[in-house]
Structure 1
Amino acid sequence: MEHYLRFYIKFHSYIIAIATILGSVFMAVVLYQTTEFHYPLEEFYDYRFMGSTGILFGIIWFAVGVSLFYGIFKEVKKCLYPFVVMFMFELFLVILRDIVMIWQNQRWYNIVFVNPAAVICALCKCLLGF
Structure 2
Amino acid sequence: MLIDSHCHLDRLKLDSYDGDLDAALDAARQAGVERMLCAGIDLEHADAVVDLADKYQDVYASVGIHPLEKEAAEPDLQTLLHYAAHPKVIAIGESGLDYYYSADNKERQQERFRIHLQAAEKSELPIIVHTR
Q: TM-score, normalised by structure 2?
A: 0.29
Q: TM-score, normalised by structure 1?
A: 0.30
| Structure possessing the higher radius of gyration over alpha carbons | 1
Q: Whose RCO is larger (CA < 8 A, sep 6+)?
A: 1
Which protein has the bigger helix share?
A: 1
